[in-house]
Amino acid sequence: MKTIKEEIEELTSNVSRLGGVAEQLLADALSAVVRRDTILAQQVIARDVVADQAEREIERAALRLIALRQPVAVDLRQAVAAMRIAGELERIGDLAKSIAKRTLAINLSDPVPVNRGVESMGRVVATLLHQVLDAYTAQDVPNALVVWRQDEDVDVHYESLFRELLTYMMEDPRKITPSAHLLFVAKNIERIGDHCTNIAEMVHFLVTGEEIAAERPRGSDTRELD
């Protein structure tokens, strides 16, 4: 029979593996939209089910551990954090799938020349996801806080893309449809950044037992742009 420490280690390992799946889905979705790669977009859509299944298995394992082991203190926080972070990663997978679906629609129209901006924003968010997963694995609060503080950078990228796409739509009605789809792509990338911030907050709670006291740093309120 496994010890509670072994069960928690296995739970943490499974979350890290799900993190790898989410990272790959995001990387491929971003590559598909930038390269207008329909086949890769279709592959992302098909592979999202892997993240969904992994999240459900982690949730069941965490709930079973809590019910049967009745962990306290850091052990309880480990189980709760694994379950909640798995949920954040599953939603990142869903957003990558949404980006891929938008790519299929975008590819039916002529290109809109903003791929460099999408690529730049995507690169920032992909880096944040990798950093926060490393922070979770190492239980590294300082690096988790680095990710948490960079949420503002993602908002700035989103605002810039929003205004650029709006300009294209006003200048040429033929670009309204692909630009609108790219706006949703940009919003999905921005939301992935929010999920990275959520994971950073969970890492802080996991290690310290406390929530981050300060308010999240933000750029312009992106809700006004939506």
Q: List pLDDT tens digits, range 37-92.
A: 999 999 999 999 999 999 999 999 999 999 999 999 999 999 999 999 999 999 99
Output the pLDDT for position 223: 46
Nearest to 132 by CA among 145, 119, 121, 151: 145
Burial class from Cβ neighbours inside 10 Å (0-12, 13-18, 19+) for residue 88 reads buried
Work out the pLDDT band at 219, boundaries 50, 70, 90: low
CA distances from 30 to 74, 115, 122, 174, 185 (A): 36, 10, 6, 24, 9
Percent of the chain whose predicted confidence (pLDDT) is above 70 = 96
Calculate ∠ Cα 19-193-140, nearest 5°: 55
Give tens-digit pLDDT for 139-176. Answer: 999 999 999 999 889 999 999 999 999 998 898 888 89
Higher pLDDT, 207 or 1: 207
pLDDT for 195 beyond 80: yes
Looking at residue 65, its amino acid is L
In this structure, the number of other CB atoms found within 10 A of the CB of residue 22 comes to 29
Higher pLDDT, 37 or 110: 37
CA distances from 147 to 55, 153, 201 (A): 23, 10, 9
Give tens-digit pLDDT for 172-191. Answer: 888 899 999 999 999 999 99
Output the pLDDT for position 218: 65
Exposure class string for 77-86: b at 16+ Cβ within 10 A, else e: bbbbbbbbbb
H or E stretch at 66: helix 38-69
Exposure class string for 162-195: b at 16+ Cβ within 10 A, else e: bebbeebbeeeeebeebbbbbbebbbbbbbbbbb
